[in-house]
Every structure is written in structure tokens, then in C-alpha cells.
Amino acid sequence: MQDYPHYYRVASSAQVEGEVTVTSPGLQTLATAPPAEFGGPGDRWSPETLFTASVADCFILTFRAIARASKYAWSQLECEVEGVLDRVEKTSRFTEFTVHARLFVPEGMDPGRGRRLLEKAEKSCLITNSLTAETKLVCHVAHA
């Protein structure tokens, strides 16, 4: 891992109408558009879906690192995140993210420990730690 601070560069461009392209050095270009809720086509990634996806992605990557450091064996983690965009004091903003996590572990692994590691991942996730929105974790751990 590199020393802090880390810097991330992204660029976007668009014409008067149509998609917005998002680029970052070394990464594939993404075509984005407004979501259906804002009059967009609803068939492309939008800033809102990308933002919500970053919560899910960071949660799984954080859990993976914590489980590895804790020597906790697991076979699969499924994560669905619901972000709530609302009007607060005449400003649109995300007010809540609910993280639904389903962890599958091999027989013999303690599900309670898995739940505690999921909770630690939720508290350690750098994306949710950077938000003002409330984050809720709903988790289920089962043997695979």
C-alpha cells in the first residue's frame, strides 16, 4: 500500500445532449446518463447508481481485507445497497444507505464471528466513513 494521501483523477465530458463519458487513467471509459428518476433513459450508469455502487464495492473490499487479516474463511459475499435520495432543506442529497449483506461460510466456521467481521467492515469502509448519510447494515450469515 502507498503512503497517504492518495489521489484519484477522473475526467468527464459531454455534448449538449446525450451521454457523459467518464475516464480515469488506465481504466475503461464509462458512458453515463441521468437516471430515469431525473428524466434520463434509465439504461446506463448514472452518478447516483455509481455512488451507490461505490458503497457496495467498498464494503466487500473492506470485508475481504478484514477477513484475510482475521484468517476467517468464507466462500461468497453478496451485497445489495439501497441509497435513498431525498430533499433536505431544499437540497437533494443521499440521506441513507442500507447495506444488505449475505455471507456464506464453510461448515465449521463460526457464523457469529462472520457477523462481527461484517459489522467491522461496515464501520471501516472508507466510502461510508466519508458520507454524511446514515448507513445501516442488515446481514445474514449461513453455511455454504
122 within a domain of the structure (yes/no): yes
Asked if 107 and 143 count as a contact pair (C-beta separation under 8 A), the reply is yes
Domain count, the chain: 1
18 within a domain of the structure (yes/no): no
DSSP one-letter string for 13-42: EE-SSS-EEEE-TTS--EEE---GGGTS-S
CATH label of the domain that carries residue 106: 3.30.300.20
131 within a domain of the structure (yes/no): yes
Rounded to two decimals, the pTM is 0.94
Provide, rounded to the nearest whole percent, the portion of the chain with pLDDT above 70. 100
132 within a domain of the structure (yes/no): yes
Output the pLDDT for position 52. Answer: 98
136 within a domain of the structure (yes/no): yes
53 within a domain of the structure (yes/no): yes
17 within a domain of the structure (yes/no): no
Phi, psi torsion values for 74, nearest 5 degrees: -150, 160
Mean pLDDT, the chain, rounded, equals: 97
Range of the domain at 110: 47-143
DSSP one-letter string for 49-60: HHHHHHHHHHHH
Residue 29 to residue 32: CA distance in whole angstroms = 10
74 within a domain of the structure (yes/no): yes
Output the pLDDT for position 39. Answer: 95
